Amino acid sequence: MFIDRIKIRVQGGNGGNGVTAFRREKFVPRGGPSGGDGGRGGDVWIVADSSLNTLLHLRYNPEHTAGRGRHGEGSNCSGHDGADVIVRVPVGTQIFDTFAGEMLQDLAQDGARWLAAKGGRGGFGNAHFTSSTNRAPRYHQDGSEGEKFELQLELKLLADVGLVGFPNAGKSTLISTISAAKPKIADYPFTTLEPHLGVVDAGDFRTFVVADIPGLIEGAHEGTGLGDRFLRHIERTKLLLHLVDVSSASGRDPVQDYETVNHELEAYNSDLALRPQIVVATKIDALDEPERLEALRRMVHH
Ligand SMILES: Nc1nc2c(ncn2[C@@H]2O[C@H](COP(=O)(O)OP(=O)(O)OP(=O)(O)O)[C@@H](O)[C@H]2O)c(=O)[nH]1
Ligand SMILES: [Mg+2]
C-alpha cells in the first residue's frame, strides 16, 4: 500500500533529576555534597532515507519517544543520557506543524536530518551548587521535560518529469518502455492506483526520474475517479508529459481530453498549469481517423 500522508507524535526524552547527597566515608566526619547531575533526555530525529518509498511503516507506529535521562546519584555520579530515536522517512518528505499547518522542513536529500523534538536537560545535583557561602547545599534541580509535538508528514515524490493524462492513455506503458519500472498495464481505466517512479538512462551516466500517476478525469479536483491527491507527486517536476489517446477506441475526443486534463491541473494548482508541457499523442498505430490527431495538433499549436 502506498501511504503518502501521515500524522506522528514525537517526544524528546525527559531529563533526569539531579540528586542531593553527601559523602559518607570512614573517618571523615562531615563529607561534602556529592549529588550528581541528571542525564539529558534523548532527541527525536527525522532522517530521509532513499531506500524507503512510502510512509506506510509509520502508520501503525505513530509514537516516537526518545529515552529519558537517568537521575543523578551520590558519589558525584551523573545519570546516563537518554538514547536518541531516529524516524526514517522517504526522500521528498515534508514536515508540517499539525496545528498551524506551516511547513517546518523539507527533507529533499538522502541522509538529510532534522531535529524534531529535543530532549530535556538533566538537572544539577547538589554538588553543583556548592560555593564559598554555601558549602553544603541541600537542594538539587529536577530535569526538564522533553519537547513534544504532533507532526504531519507528507511525501512528495521527487521526479523530473510527470506523466499526466486520462486513464488508459498509455502512461504506464510509456514508463515501462523507457525505464525499468514495471507498473501494471491493462486495457481498462484506473489500472494504476498509486504513483510509480522510473529512472531513465539518458546516456553518459545521466539519468532522470519519471513519475507515473493514476489517470485524471473530469471532476478529479472534486474527488471524481481517484481524485487529484496524486497530483502532489508531480508538483515538483520540471516538465509534464501530457499523454492523449488519439485512437477512436477511446470513444472520446482527444481535444476535449486534452482540455479536461489541463483544467484539472489548473483547478488543483495554477502553477501546475504553467509548467512546461510536452503533449504526446498515443496509440497512433491504431489511428483510424487521422483528423483526430490533426485536431489535437491544431489545438496544441493554437
Ligand atoms: N495500440 C496501442 N495500445 C497502447 C499503446 N500504449 C498503450 N496501449 C494500451 O492501452 C491500454 C492502457 O495502457 P496503460 O499504460 O495501462 O494506460 P495508463 O495511462 O497507465 O492507464 P491508467 O493507469 O488506468 O491511468 C493497455 O491495454 C495498453 O496495452 C499504443 O501506443 N498503442
Ligand atoms: Mg497506468
**Does the Cβ of 86 fall within 6 Å of ligand 1?**
no
State which of 2, 163, 166, 172 you would mutate to test the pocket of ligand 1, scoring each by most atoms of that ligand within 8 A of its C-beta: 172
Query: What pLDDT band is residue 29 in, cutting at 50, 70 and 90?
Result: low
**Does the Cβ of 285 fall within 6 Å of ligand 1?**
yes
Instruction: Provide the greatest CA pair distance for the chain.
Output: 108
**Does the Cβ of 190 fall within 6 Å of ligand 1?**
yes
How many angstroms does the Cα of residue 195 sit away from the middle of ligand 2? 9
Task: Report the candidate in 141, 28, 136 with the shortest Cα–Cα distance to residue 79.
Answer: 141
Q: pLDDT digit string (tens) for 228-252?
A: 888 988 988 999 999 999 999 888 9
Per-residue model confidence (pLDDT) at position 80: 97
Per-residue model confidence (pLDDT) at position 49: 93
Q: In the chain, which residue ranges form alpha helices assigned H by DSSP?
A: 171-178, 254-268, 270-274, 290-301
Per-residue model confidence (pLDDT) at position 151: 97
- Mean pLDDT for 214-220 is 92
**Does the Cβ of 139 fall within 6 Å of ligand 1?**
no
For the cut 90, the answer to whether the pLDDT of residue 3 exceeds it is no
Cell readout for 179 is 525505464
Element (H, E) at 279: strand 277-282
Q: Give the best-scoring range by mean pLDDT among 84-88, 181-185, 186-190.
A: 84-88
Sheet of strand 44-48: strand arrangement? 85-89, 44-48, 113-117
Query: What pLDDT band is residue 12 in, cutting at 50, 70 and 90?
Result: very high
Looking up cell 499523454 gives: 243
Atom of ligand 1 nearest to the CA of 167: 25
- Mean pLDDT for 165-172 is 95
Query: What pLDDT band is residue 27 in, cutting at 50, 70 and 90?
Result: low
Per-residue model confidence (pLDDT) at position 180: 86
Cell readout for 164 is 499526466
How many angstroms does the Cα of residue 120 sit away from the middle of ligand 2? 49
Helix/strand/coil for 161: strand
Choice among 22-31, 114-123, 284-293 with the minimum mean pLDDT: 22-31
- Mean pLDDT for 58-66 is 94
DSSP state of 67: P
Per-residue model confidence (pLDDT) at position 26: 67
For the cut 90, the answer to whether the pLDDT of residue 94 exceeds it is yes
- Mean pLDDT for 82-92 is 95
Per-residue model confidence (pLDDT) at position 32: 87
Per-residue model confidence (pLDDT) at position 201: 87
pTM: 0.75
Q: Could you tell me the end-to-end alpha-carbon distance of the chain, in angstroms, rounded to an integer?
A: 42
**Does the Cβ of 191 fall within 6 Å of ligand 1?**
yes
Ligand nearest to the CA of residue 169, numbered in listed order: 1
- Mean pLDDT for 35-40 is 96
| Mean per-residue pLDDT of the chain | 92
Do residues 95 and 104 lie in contact, with contact meaning Cβ atoms separated by under 8 Å? yes
**Does the Cβ of 182 fall within 6 Å of ligand 1?**
no
